[in-house]
Each structure stands twice: as C-alpha cells, then as structure tokens.
A and B are shown apart, each in its own frame.
Chain A
Amino acid sequence: MEYFLQQLINGLTLGAIYGLIALGYTMVYGILGMINFAHGTIYMLGAFISLIGYLAATTVGGAPVTLALLLALFATMAFTALWGWTIERVAYRPLRKAPRLAPLISAIGVSIILQNFAALAQGTRAKPLPPVIRGGFTLINSDDFPVSLSWMQIIVFVMTVTLMAGFTWMITRTSLGRAQRATEQDMKMAALLGIDVDRVVSATFVIGAALAGVAGLMVTLYYGVIDFYIGFLAGIKAFTAAVLGGIGSLPGAMLGGLLIGLIEAFWSAYFSIEYKDVATFGILVLVLVFRPTGLLGRPDVEKI
C-alpha cells in the first residue's frame, strides 16, 4: 500500500510534466492539424536554458536560490517562446498550404537541427545539477516503506495547476482565446471574420513553447540531470498523452499526461523498468485502435 502510494505520487509528478508538454502538441494540432515534431526539442532547450539561467543567477549574479529560480523560470519561458515563434515563422508558415507531409518533414528537420545544435553548443555529456530544492514531508512513517512527498513535487504540482488555471482562463475568457477557438474550428471562416490567423497561430506556438520550457525547467530541477537527447522520448510520450486524452482537447492533454506518467511509474515499479516505454506505446496503440478519438476527444462523423 505504501509502495503504491509512493508510486502514485511519483507518477503524478511525472505526468504533470508530460501534460504541460502535451498541451503544446494538442493546441498546434487543433489549429493546424499538424504534428509539431520539434516540440519535444523545445522542451529540451527549455531544460538547458533554465539550467544556464539558474547558474548565471546564482554563480554570476549571486542571487539567492528563490530569486534565481524565479529568474530562471521567466528567462526560460521568454527564450523558449521566442524559439517557438521563430520556428513557426521560418519552417512552418511558408508551408501552410503545402502538401500535408511537407510541414511534418520540415518539423522533423527542425528537431534534428535543434538537437544537434544543442549537442554542439553544450556538448554531448549529461549535465548534472545538485538538488536545489531539498526536503519534503514524510506522509506515512511506515517501517518498511516510508511514503514521502518532496517540496520539489509540491512545486511541480502547484506550478502545473497554476499554469493550467491561467491557461484555461486565457482560452475561455480572453479575446485571444476566443480567436484561438474560432481558428481551431474553421481557419478560413475565422480569417473571413477578421481574425488575424497568423497572429493566432504565432500565439499558439509561443504559449505552447513557453509551457514546454516550464516543463524543461521542472525536469532539470526534479531529476537534476539533462542532456541534448531528452527531448525526443519526452516529446513522443507527450504526444502520446495528447492523443490518449483526445487530440485537440486541452483537459484531455492534461489527463493524458497524468495517465502516461502513472502508467510509466507503475509499470516501472511493478513490472520491469526496461519495458516502461513499451507499455506507454502499447497503451497508445490500444487506445487508437479501440477509441481513436481519445478519452475526451469528440467523436467525429466521417463527412462524405
């Protein structure tokens, strides 16, 4: 039981991170119908930028930990947002009317570029960061297996919930959110009604990238080690989460992320850690075969 509870906490933490990345995938897919393959690498860049930002603030600027973390957070969001904006502008926008596969290939190209750019610029060795935020609570003080909840995990939850709340508010209450929803339903119609579709798409990439950047920051702090390759697998898993939740659905992305995190944690804990990725992809295949619209996705009637 204690062991189970601990895995639940670990799984939810991991899932929250996947969920944040998944939001970017689901938003872009909802609007452009395209798999933004480079999204995982943005998350990787986020992890690097946050590490650099944090170190710059503490070692160079001499800032206290809390301030340094806040600075790193804002810097990460700003820089990843700029990366997201640039990528859309340079590699996707010219291809919006191109054959369906063109933007996908371009996106794969971008992700290869960024991954190797990171490897060249920062080296291929993994970068360790000693734990910044230590300590936590022991929830159950059992003899054979104490269940603990670390401060870091609490921070991950709080930040995810805050971002989700802010995000939901933006989508439902602001004019940008309305424009975004309209564009998602029918881009041509939205443009005819005077919505600046280019701006909406840019905003989508900026927001998605910033969220992925936050996920990168949290991973840096939570695991304390990053390398240039982390974007690929996390990207696939986050996309899996988006599909599992129902692509295009924002709560679905979060739910899918949590589920993937839980599956991974429990599978590693109870079955085999080597095959945890097989479990994730296996679930993806099963979901798509039996419920192609995902858990929260709207069923769509084939238009003939």
Chain B
Amino acid sequence: MPAALRDSLLAGLVAAALALPMLGVRLVDSATGLSLAGRFDLVAWAAGLVFGGRLLLRLIPPLPAMPVLPAGFGNLRPAAGWAMAAFAVLLPFLPFADRNVVDKATLVLIYIMLGWGLNIVVGLAGLLDLGFVAFYAVGAYSYALLSQSFGLSFWVCLPLAGVLSASFGLLLGFPVLRLRGDYIAIVTMGLGEIVRVILQNWQELTGGPNGISGIERPSLFGLSFKAVPPEGQRSFAEFFGLDYSGDHRVIFLYFLILILALATNLFTLRIRRLPVGRAWEALREDEIACRSLGINPTTVKLSAFGIGAMFAGFAGSFFATRQGFISPESFTFMESAVILAIVVLGGMGSQIGIVLAALLLVGLPEWFRELQQYRMLAFGGAMVLIMLWKPAGLLSHREPTIRLDGQP
C-alpha cells in the first residue's frame, strides 16, 4: 500500500515536471512579440490525474488476462464475417442510418479496404511499408487526371488506376525489396514523402497544393446521380421513378466502396490458400528458409508489394470520385501511419481484426468531430494503449490455410 502510494506520487511528480513548461506556460502572441501566460492550474490537473490514475491501476487487481476467446472461436469466424457483411449491406436501410451515418461508414470502409490492401504487404508478407499512401495517391491522381484529360468514365479508370498503382509499386519495389526489414520501412517512408512533394510541386500536372477539383462523379450503368443529368444521360432518380435526392449518391458510393472492399477481402482470403499467398507468409516467417526451398524472395515480395499497391490504387480512385477534389494534403505520412496502425492493431494478418481496428481508430474518432483538436490525441493514445494491452494485435490467432483431412 505505501509502495503503491509512493509510486503514484512519483508518477504524479514526473507528470507535473513534464507538464510544467509545455502546459503550464503558454506562448501568447502580443503586439510586442511573444509573451508568456501561466496556467499552473493545468499542471496541477495533469499531476493529479496521473497520480489518481496510477494509484487506481496499482490498487485494482489486473484485469483477467483479456477476453480469452473460446477455443472454438476459429470456427465462429466465418460466421462473424458473414454477419458483419450482412450488417454492412443492410446498414443504409436501417432506421438510424441517415446521410451522415452512411457517409461516415463510407469513410470507415475506405480505411478497411486500405487496411486489407496493406495487410497483404505487412500482415502476410511481413514487409513493413510506411509509404503505402503513395499508391493511394497514385490511384487518386490517376483517376482524376485520366478522367479530366481524356474524359474516361470512372469504370474505365478504376482498373487503369489499379494497374498504374501496381506498376508503380513494382517499379519502386524493385530496388527497395532487397533491403532488410527496418530499412524497407524507412525507404518506403522516404518514397511516400517524395511522391507527396512531387504532387505538391508539379504544378502543370497535379495542380500543386491546390490539387484537382471538379472530378467526375461515378454513374451506375450510365445513370447519373446529378439533379440535372448531363446531356445524353438519364438520372438514377428518373429511371427508377424516384424523386431526386442527394442521398441516392451517398448510398451508391457506400455500396461501391463496400463492393470494392469485399472484393479485396475475398481476393485475400483466396490467395492466402494459393502458393503465392503461402509463400508470402513463409517469407514473413523466415526468408532464409524460403531461399533454401527454391523460393525467389524478390519476386514473391514484389508480387505482394504490387498487389497491395493495386488495391490502394482502387481505393484511391474511389476516394477521388467520392470527394470530387484531391490535393496532396490527403496523402501525408499520417495517412500511411493510420493505415499501418489499423493493420498492426488488428492483429497482423487478421481480416476481421482490421475491421475492428478501423472502426476503433477511424470510426470512433469520427463521432467526436466536434472535438477535432482532441481527436488525434485520442488516436495516438489508442495506438499506444492497444499495443501495450495486446502487443500482437486485437485478433492474433491464425488458422492454417489447409488441413490434412479436408479443407479448413
């Protein structure tokens, strides 16, 4: 008891010391330059909170080591997956789902898709990619530019954007993937920044910091979602005899990303059971052993990198068509970090884990948009806390891709 108290007092003191310069004194712009304003009450609050929190942690016995999932949970997974998919399909028609909810769900789905794409690279192949956003950007700009320069429709651009992103991934991957683990992280981060700086500065092509606006919105088999459809097209509302509503497009976009995301998921589930997928995982486990079995690590890594990039490209063109406007600001390193965090927090390789992590990291903070300032703080805090709580990620259980007697 006295030990807990002493320990908590120490923690409180440290917190007070840490808070003293940064929180206790505020730099204020004034007519004569900077001046200082003391806010020592905040320091006291910080110290008190840390002291109290620490004391609580010390006094309350540790939680029973995390919901240990029942042994049969592995078999429940497909069921859980189907339930989630069914819920996702029904979501727009549920009573509480207004335009705002569907819009936010769309955003979460973008991150789920990006997470599933990056999962191929990081979770399965074990390549730490900190520049994934570069491929997302290539997809978005590919669509925007192709559609604006050549008047191609979204449906033509989508595969093109995927192909361009994938080729870009292969091109970058070639020099990078021979490096050792941590170096791959740094180089991909550098490449991600290079792409962003180029987007920022290549005025003639990318519009520089102003980005590209007025990007064509997608249509459903030629049915436009505009109030007044362009010449030669009919509108969705007209065709189905509905009154025009802006919600139609929101719901259409939601289903579009849902289909894209589910396609990514199906692809991953399938390829995990194929030679390439198994080679990815084997490579993550032990590259030298892979080489001794005749597996060429470079081509296997490249395939993971390229396929991951392709899905990022798809997601990127969706992002561009949803926003109607893109600029380099949407493709900062922070985005890469968020996507990586989703994959790692989800449990490296677990598809459902990624959904949970995306809901937690992207969905939850979205509800607190009013507290914009504190959102990122909470986001960073969640990253640290989840890692401390479950270093292997939320769902780290792995099912074999094949069983001796019959399929898994």
- Please tell me whether chains A and B touch each other in their complex, using a CB distance cut-off of 8 A: yes
With both beta carbons as reference points, the residue of chain A lying nearest to B341 in the complex is identified as: A105
B380-A116 in contact (CB<8A): yes
A275 contacts B201, C-beta separation under 8 Å? yes
Q: How far is the CA of A53 from the CA of B14 in the complex (A)?
A: 18
For chains A and B in complex, what number of residue pairs have CB atoms within 8 angstroms? 181
Query: How would residues 247 to 280 of chain A score, 1 for a CB under 8 Å from any chain B CB and 0 otherwise?
Result: 0000000000000000000000000101101100
Measured in the bound complex, the distance between the Cα atoms of B344 and A34 in whole Å is 16
Shortest CB distance A61–B (Å): 11
How many residues of chain A have a CB within 8 Å of chain B?
Answer: 71
Name which of A94-102, A146-154, A169-177, A184-192 contacts chain B: A94-102
Are A110 and B189 closer than 8 Å at their CB atoms? Answer: no
CB < 8 Å neighbour of A122 from B27, B181, B193, B194: B27
Selected interface stretch from B16-24, B244-252, B259-267: B16-24
Is A79's CB under 8 angstroms from B175's CB? Answer: no
Is A125 an interface residue, CB under 8 A from the partner?
A: yes
Taking the nearest CB of chain A, how far is it from the CB of B83, in angstroms?
A: 28
Q: How large is the interface on B (under 10, 10 to 19, 20 to 34, 35 or more residues)?
A: 35 or more
Of B181, B198, B379, B383, which contacts A105 at CB under 8 A?
Answer: B383
Contact of A288 among B26, B179, B380 (CB under 8 A): B179
With beta carbons under 8 angstroms apart, the residue of B18, B180, B198, B334 that contacts A83 is B18
User: Do B348 and A75 touch across chains, with their CB atoms under 8 A apart?
Assistant: no
Looking at B32-40, B139-147, B305-313, the stretch in contact with chain A turns out to be: B32-40
Complex Cα–Cα for A116 and B128 (A): 25
Whole-angstrom CA separation of A302 from B21 in the bound complex: 47
B27 in contact with A51 (CB, 8 Å): yes
Query: Is the pair B18, A101 in contact by a Cβ cutoff of 8 Å?
Result: no
* A86 CB contacts on chain B under 8 angstroms: 14, 18
Select B21's contact among A53, A106, A278, A304, beta carbons within 8 Å.
Answer: A53
Q: Which residues of A67-103 have CB atoms within 8 Å of chain B's CB atoms?
A: 75, 79, 82-83, 86, 90-91, 94-95, 98-103
Once the chains are docked, how many angstroms separate the CA of A123 from the CA of B27? 8
Interface residues of A (CB under 8 A from B): 29, 33, 35, 45, 48-49, 51-53, 55-56, 59-60, 75, 79, 82-83, 86, 90-91, 94-95, 98-106, 108-123, 125, 127-130, 232, 236, 239-240, 243, 272, 274-275, 277-278, 281-282, 284-285, 288-289, 292, 302, 304
Q: 6 tightest CB-CB pairs across the interface, nearest first?
A: A109-B383, A112-B380, A98-B391, A281-B190, A113-B380, A109-B384
